[in-house]
Amino acid sequence: MSILNSIQEAEANSVALKAEATEEVRILLEKNKVEIEKKVASLYNTAEDNMRQMNANTDIVVSNTEKKINDSYAEAIKALQTQAYFAMDKVVDDVVKKVMQI
**What pLDDT score was predicted for residue 92?**
83
How far apart, in whole angstroms, are the C-alpha atoms of residue 55 and residue 47?
12
In eight-state DSSP terms, residue 1 is -
Mark out the alpha helices in the chain (DSSP H runs).
Answer: 3-101
pLDDT digits (tens, 9 = 90+) for 11-45: 989 999 999 999 999 999 999 999 999 999 999 99
pLDDT digits (tens, 9 = 90+) for 46-88: 999 999 999 999 999 999 999 999 999 999 999 999 999 888 8
How far apart, in whole angstroms, are the C-alpha atoms of residue 50 and residue 47?
5
pTM to 2 decimals? 0.56
How far apart, in whole angstroms, are the C-alpha atoms of residue 50 and residue 33?
25
How far apart, in whole angstroms, are the C-alpha atoms of residue 40 and residue 34?
10
Going from N- to C-terminal start, the domains of the chain cover 1-76
Residue 1: pLDDT band (50, 70, 90) is low
**What pLDDT score was predicted for residue 34?**
96
Phi, psi of 73 (to 5 degrees): -65, -40
Greater pLDDT, 91 or 35 = 35
